[in-house]
Structure 1
Amino acid sequence: MALTGKLTKNLVENLGAGRHGDGGGLYLVVDPSGARRWIVRVVVKGQKNRNGAPLRTDFGLGGADVVTLNQARERALEYRRMAKQGLNPRFNARQEVPTFEEVAQQVHIDRMPTWKNAKHGQQWINTLRDYAFPKIGRMPVDSIGQPEVMMCLAPIWTEKHETARRLAQRIKTVLDVARSKGFRSGENPVTAIKDAQALPKVKAKPKHHKAMRWQDVPDFYASLRGRNAMAAKALMFTCLTGSRTGEVLGLRWAEIDVEARLWTCPAERMKTGEEHRVPLTNEMLGIMEPLRALNSDYVFEGQKRNKPLSNMSMLMLLRRMNVAGVTVHGFRSTFRDWASEVANAPREVAELSLSHQVGSDVERAYARSDLLEKRRILMDRWSRYVSEANCDVIELVHGIRE
């Protein structure tokens, strides 16, 4: 015969945040995030807590999306029977607790729709596969504490600090999800390790993309003009716009408004996750317009029909041109140096031109404008400097400050 209580299946699925009793010490806990889990409160006969009072404690029974109401009642009854016999359920109950790897793989699957791209999602699980699964992957997720986490982090903390930092964050996420499903309790060991400063401080060395001097860009750009390869066209456009490689290679004709002289890169293709408008100059339009004849979805089509150039195409072009010590991404830094040293552009105008976020969250909340017209003046000046051999490099852009 089925056990009964105050809750129903409908209530379990729809109750709001809080702790909701079913009776007999069984509770449904609904987090503000909407996650639902079962806990049972029991008093262990004959055992006392540190204050000498009867030992009353809570035990997780699993997430409500995995454990049904009847299953939770049956497990709660089992725990109460143990407690009445003087047996602490923490050491005597049988629980089907998943392993760390099982939870991690499920987290990866659940978050697939949120990854910016497939590569990012694969990197997330690969870090755990390489550095966590060999050591703690087969352990029940509720048995992982600080020593186990330290086994994963300590060997690579100084040698591969950035990787270790990301690994720590991903282990923390897996353990947090396990706790929300009722498979763990207490503080996350990753948080405890951080608070205790158990790992040494590592001063991260900033990695800068190697950039060309702005003084050398006009000659380099002129050499690109003499090439017919699609990679050369894309690199010219990249130099002029200061955009990221992926933004340029993924550029579709549908994002271009020739009449408004504007390229609107959608939020899903931006690193910041926000739509970015790029003012188009005569030189930029001159690069693109002849490419319309290809009748492709992409402005810079690759070797396969209606597919963009590969991510390595522009970098390989630099190598074929024997341009040493320069990366494609570095042209963003080149533009930024020129904007500051030559154009004397206000910081917010130059930073917004590179789609960088400027100011605090509060400042951005009030600064709704993307300063498009001021950026248009700056980009036009940069475009003319890069593409016109007789450009006077010390002329200032007075209009930017108007």
Structure 2
Amino acid sequence: MRSVGPNVGRRSCRMPGLTALQVKHAKSGRHADGRGLYLVVRDSGSRAWVLRTQVDGKRRDLGLGSASRLSLAEARTKAADLRARLLRGEEVGAKPALPQPTVPTFAEAARACHKALKGGWANKRHSDSWLSSLENHIFPAFGSVSVDAVNSVMARDALAPIWLTIPETARRVLQRIGTVLDYAHIAGWCPHEAALRSVRKGLPRQPADTNHFVAMSYAEVPGFIERLGALPAAAGRDALLFTICTAVRSGETRLAVWPEFDLENGVWSIPAARMKMKKAHVVPLSVQAVAILRRRWPLRTDDNGLVFSNTGEKPLSDMTMTKVLRDLGLEKITVHGFRSAFTDWAAEQTDFPKEVVDKALAHQLPDRVEAAYRRTNFFERRRRLMDSWGRYLAQDRVTPVALHAQRQAQERDGCQRQQGRDAL
């Protein structure tokens, strides 16, 4: 005769078990409800009901289902039904396990992750470097290891050789390892989410990166502008001059096309697709900036082409402006650093508020609440700011073209003032 354990079918006064609130807030582990019914909470946060039985002297755990779909009362009812079936001698077993997905290697998982994510990246260079950084620094170490076996010790050992020599790359690679492991967890290849927080604790502290973009002192920029203006006319030289005058990022200059500019009103409208923050940006152009554009206009090959290009179709490389700096003997100064010089000049030499300067640089407000309520783009105040920056750079060196543009700006300002008086 088949023997059934004493806790199956026993009728006695039931001691109070779990409550619905306890089920909802239970931490990791097994939580007994009574008569062999347990709530099992895993580290990942998943919850399931299990009935522990003993049949023919052998202990068996029968899965009842997920606690997210089966309430405490329903789990008790289902457990009672299973006990009754066991007493009747019926064969009772857990639902057949779902076939487990084949677990790929870390390298295979990384390539699958890259393929899934790259569609949302606008910058192809970022897409290429994302995968190549893993191929160069991580795949040789544990690319062939099953992705569910990768741990923080492996990550630490792989990053140790580059942690101090190329710290920025090392930090990015660590972040990308975490992204791959998170993707593997979502794909069902890893039972637990990635836990790489301890990796940094096993590596030396990286030195502070105080000179990410080496900048020229703002006091030296006017003199540099004079040296730059004395060079032979070239697309690279003009692009660098224009970038400094407008305080924009180099990529925004390199890809600028003529339809974006309103030279008569001194306005440059950059579409959202070309901005780092993916928000359209309108730049008020100083007399000096307009003069550069008017000098480029007769050289155009197409009214819709690129402004700073020899062909109008192929943009300058991101190293062209840097080469101009190197040819002038400036080995460490970066193009991006002129944005820092502009920021320092505005802070120390003007009374313009920081938010106006930040808007001129197309910086995003760090406070989301403030950003939601501050809708103004400070355009007229930014126009005065950029005019002041242009005059500072020129230091009274006004060319005939710039003088013409300056007169137009003065006439425009006079009209605006007259309109203001008429409104009063």
Q: TM exceeds 0.5?
A: yes
Aligned partner of residue 333 in structure 1, secondary structure = helix
SS at match of 2:318: coil
Deviation of 1:358 after TM superposition, in Å, equals 3.2
Structure 1: gaps (5+ residues):
1-38, 60-83, 392-402
**Cα shift readout 1:266-307 (whole Å, capped 9, x = no counterpart):** 2222222322221112221111123233133101014x4511
Cα distance change on mapping 1:289 and 1:98 into 2, 3 Å: same
User: What is the distance in 2 between the residues matched to 1:46 and 1:149?
Assistant: 44
Counterpart of 2:169 (choices 158, 163, 168) is 163
Partner of 1:113: 119
State the percentage of identical aligned residues: 36
Hey, what does 1:220 align to over in structure 2?
224
TM-score by length of 1: 0.70
Question: After superposition, what is the alpha-carbon deviation per residue over 1:58-84, rounded to whole angstroms, capped at 9, x for unaligned?
Answer: 99xxxxxxxxxxxxxxxxxxxxxxxx9
Question: C-alpha distance in 2, partners of 1:57/1:267?
Answer: 53
Q: Is 1:298 matched up with 2:306?
A: yes
Aligned to 2:358: 351
Alignment of 1:216-255 (within 5 A): 216-226=220-230, 227-255=232-260
State the partner residue of 1:284.
289
Is residue 262–residue 268 contact of structure 2 (8 Å, CA) maintained in 1?
Answer: yes
Specify the SS of the correspondent of 2:196.
Answer: helix
Report deviation, 1:53. 8.9
1:153 alignment counterpart? 159
SS at match of 1:54: strand
Correspondences of 1:93-104 after superposition (within 5 Å): 95-104=101-110
Q: Decide whether the 8 Å contact of 1:124 with 1:170 is kept in 2.
A: yes
Inter-CA distance 53–158: structure 2 relative to 1 (3 Å threshold):
farther
Distance 1:206 1:220, change over 3 A: closer
Closer, same or farther: CA 277–145 of 1 in aligned 2, 3 Å: same
Question: How far apart, CA to CA, are the structure 2 residues paired with 1:142 and 1:171?
Answer: 13
Match of 1:363 in 2: 370
1:335 aligns with 2:342: yes
Structure number with bigger Rg: 2
**What amino acid is the match of 1:108?**
H
Matched, 1:207 2:214: no
What amino acid maps onto 1:219 in structure 2? G
Flag the 1:229–1:371 CA change in 2: closer, same or farther, 3 A. same
Q: Give aligned pairs, total.
A: 319
**Alpha-carbon deviations, 1:169-220, whole Å to 9, x = none?**
11111111111111111231324x26x9444543532224222232332232
Q: Which residue of 2 aligns with 1:17?
A: none
Partner of 1:377: 384
In 2, Cα distance between equivalents of 1:331 and 1:356? 15
Contact 1:149–1:189 at 8 Å: present in 2 too? no
Q: Which of residues 300, 317, 327 in structure 2 aligns to 1:310?
A: 317
Give TM-score, length-normalised by structure 2: 0.67
- Aligned residues of 1:45 and 1:85 also touching (Cα < 8 A): no
Contact 1:218 1:389 in 2 (8 A): no
Q: Deviations over 1:345-379 (max 9, x none)?
A: 21111122112223411111111112111111000
Quote how far apart the aligned CAs of 1:125 are: 0.5
